[in-house]
């Protein structure tokens, strides 16, 4: 238990020591999006009746930041320690593969949530979306960030160089977040893209998360919950199997 706690503590400490990059920078990025999109679209779009576009946008941006930072945390921590070689200190220790998994995922969830809260608080200055069901908000934030953190563990183990990790980020994470309805409701898309969005797990994470704020969503939050939880279980199982086999970590 102490081994696990220590690894978790170390991962959180790492986030803290470079808080400027890991916490502050993502909040600023999200605020830039908010500033630009709300300025451009505020007059033109009303997604839910009576909800200003800026208010609609805020939960999407918060969740996007949560997800991207959860992924960035586990993946970059792993690849850094692989490249500097300091990962041996963890590999030499009597830490079970599932403790390794949980520590990296939990630390990344923590970073995702802290960034999410930061973005939310800063965004309140622009608009104040309601908070209908805080429990749904928390549930989707935690499950979504755990899913992305797990994906980050896979990416961090698989990548041997920063370029490969950047590829993962640019060709998988970014397109999936942008095509998930962060900036719009998928009902405003042509039917082909609407259909395609339904295969994107990010869509369910964002839609379910947004439900917690407005009590309204593109599809039932229960269905979104089932999809997100299913993806998490599947991916966690895959990641655990990868860690257990020692793939690319224990040569």
Q: Is the dihedral of CA 136, 139, 145, 147 positive or negative?
A: negative
Minimum CB separation of residue 167 from another protein in Å reads: 25
CA pair distance 200, 206, nearest whole angstrom? 10
Q: Is 49 in the site for another protein (CB under 8 A)?
A: no
Supply 140's token pair.
């989707």
Q: Is 21 in the site for another protein (CB under 8 A)?
A: no
Cβ 140 vs Cβ 231: under 8 Å: no
Query: Which phi-psi region, left, alpha or beta, contains residue 210 (left: φ > 0; alpha: ψ -120 to 50)?
Result: alpha
Judged by CB under 8 A, the residue of 32, 35, 40, 88 near another protein is 88
Q: Is 93 helix (H, G, I), strand (E, B) or coil?
A: coil
Q: Which stretch binds another protein (CB under 8 A): 35-43, 93-101, 197-205, 207-215?
A: 93-101
Q: Is 135 in the site for another protein (CB under 8 A)?
A: no
Q: Is 20 in the site for another protein (CB under 8 A)?
A: no
For another protein, the closer of residues 3 and 29 by Cβ is 3
SS3 letters across 99-135? HHHHHHHHHHHHHHHHHHHHHHHHHCCCCCCCCCCHH
Minimum CB separation of residue 3 from another protein in Å reads: 5
Burial (CB < 10 A; 0-12, 13-18, 19+), residue 145, is buried
Judged by CB under 8 A, the residue of 32, 39, 89, 238 near another protein is 89
Minimum CB separation of residue 251 from another protein in Å reads: 5
CA pair distance 39, 48, nearest whole angstrom? 18
Q: Is 203 helix (H, G, I), strand (E, B) or coil?
A: helix
Cβ 112 vs Cβ 177: under 8 Å: no
| Sites for another protein among residues 66-85 (CB under 8 A) | 81, 84-85
Q: Is 13 in the site for another protein (CB under 8 A)?
A: yes
Cβ 238 vs Cβ 146: under 8 Å: no
Minimum CB separation of residue 11 from another protein in Å reads: 10
Q: Which stretch binds another protein (CB under 8 A): 91-99, 177-185, 204-212, 213-221?
A: 91-99
Q: Is 19 in the site for another protein (CB under 8 A)?
A: no
For another protein, the closer of residues 24 and 93 by Cβ is 93
Closest CA relative to residue 144, chosen from 199, 67, 72: 67
Minimum CB separation of residue 95 from another protein in Å reads: 6
Minimum CB separation of residue 250 from another protein in Å reads: 5
Supply 5's token pair.
């706690």
Binding interface with another protein (CB under 8 A) = 2-3, 5-7, 9-10, 13-14, 17-18, 81, 84-86, 88-96, 246, 250-251
């Amino acid at each position: 238990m102490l081994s696990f706690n220590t690894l978790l503590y170390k991962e959180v400490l790492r986030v803290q020591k470079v808080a400027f990059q890991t916490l502050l920078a993502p909040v600023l990025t999200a605020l830039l999006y908010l500033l630009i999109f709300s300025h451009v679209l505020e007059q033109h779009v009303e997604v839910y009746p009576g909800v200003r576009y800026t208010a609609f946008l805020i939960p999407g941006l918060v969740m996007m930041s949560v997800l991207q930072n959860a992924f960035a945390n586990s993946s970059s921590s792993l690849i850094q320690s692989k490249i500097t070689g300091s990962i041996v200190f963890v590999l030499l220790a009597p830490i079970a593969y599932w403790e390794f998994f949980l520590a990296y995922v939990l630390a990344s969830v923590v970073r995702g949530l802290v960034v999410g809260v930061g973005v939310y608080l800063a965004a309140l200055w622009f608009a104040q979306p309601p908070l209908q069901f805080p429990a749904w908000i928390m549930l989707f934030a935690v499950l979504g960030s755990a899913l992305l953190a797990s994906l980050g563990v896979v990416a961090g183990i698989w990548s041997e160089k920063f370029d490969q990790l950047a590829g993962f980020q640019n060709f998988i994470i970014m397109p999936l977040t942008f095509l998930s309805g962060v900036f719009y409701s998928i009902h405003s898309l042509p039917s082909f893209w609407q259909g395609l969005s339904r295969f994107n797990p990010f869509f369910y994470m964002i839609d379910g998360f947004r439900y917690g704020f407005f009590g309204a969503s593109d599809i039932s939050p229960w269905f979104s919950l089932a999809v997100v939880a299913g993806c998490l279980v599947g991916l966690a199982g895959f990641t655990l199997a990868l860690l257990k086999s020692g793939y690319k970590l224990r040569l």
